[in-house]
Amino acid sequence: MTDWKVQTANRLTLEQLLADGFSTPFDAPTVPAFPFTFRNAEVMTLAWRSDKDAIQRILPPPLEAASDVVLAHIYKMNDTEWLGPYFESNVMVGCRYKDTAGGYSPYLFLSSDGGVVHGREVHGQPKKLGRPHLEARGDAWVGTIERNGIDVLTGTMAYKQQRSDIRRLAEYFDFALNINLKAINHIDGTPAIRQLTARRLGALTVHECWSGPCTVELRPNVQAPVYRLPVREMLEGFWWRADFTLVAGHVLHDYLASPPSP
């Protein structure tokens, strides 16, 4: 027999529904509210030189390619509030919007359903479920991104041979400013949100960082087309371990309020 008093005591209120960070289902929300923290995250970042024309083709207007370098981050998230342990990957390219320079994310794959939903609903990141993985195999770090049973990216670098500084990554482009295309429709299919969003991680603490030569291999997959950013020159890899907090960002450009010039 249903206890109606228990149900109505936990009934969703209008005040809760209109609160910042609200997520459904209301009694078991999927999306964390800001801020939430990642602790002891292990990251391998692979840098390779691609084609600037190829990069420009995947950028939404009015973004312009600012570099011919691609950065692919493969994360082992060991302790994340709300989401728990999982793996994530983020492929980024350098871009510029007016006087703002940052890193645009065309492809993200991760093993957490909550992470996928949060990325798409809040940031506008084009996240998909996949199976990234990062581990030490003997004297090498090996990172993979798998979707549909295909390793669309395989990267390697030597295990902790050369101490480094994460700030060196900024020499390629300002990857710490993450820019995304947020696209959400109304129920009738018409545009509800069309924005470029931007955010930086908060409270970044890097516990250790190592760098050295890397290898990057891409395999085609129509559902994970990282191959559209071909490897012309392998540059270097970084392995780093850090704590950071995901905080609110801002709208960089609102297409519905101010469409870009053709």
122 Cβ contact partners less than 8 Å away, ≥ 6 residues apart = 31
Tell me whether strands 233-246 and 250-254 are parallel, antiparallel or unpaired: unpaired
pLDDT digits (tens, 9 = 90+) for 24-66: 998 889 998 889 999 999 999 999 999 999 999 999 999 999 9
CA distance 123 to 31: 12
Ranges of the chain whose pLDDT falls below 50: 1-8
Report CA Rg, the chain. 20
Domain ranges of the chain: 31-254
DSSP 120: I
Query: Is the CB of residue 60 less than 8 Å from the CB of residue 28?
Result: no
What's the predicted TM-score (pTM) here?
0.93
Q: What's the confidence (pLDDT) of residue 258?
A: 80
Provide the CATH topology of domain 31-254. Answer: Acetoacetate decarboxylase-like (2.40.400)
CA distance 143 to 71: 13
199 Cβ contact partners less than 8 Å away, ≥ 6 residues apart = 123, 177, 178, 246, 247, 248, 249, 250
Q: What's the Cα-to-Cα distance from 167 to each of 63, 107, 192, 260, rounded to whole Å? A: 24, 23, 38, 33
Residue 5 is among the residues annotated as catalytic for this protein? no
Q: What's the confidence (pLDDT) of residue 9?
A: 53
Annotated catalytic residue, options 127, 128, 160, 182: 127
Instruction: Note the Cα 39 to chain centre separation in Å.
Output: 16
CA distance 188 to 190: 6
Q: What's the confidence (pLDDT) of residue 7?
A: 46
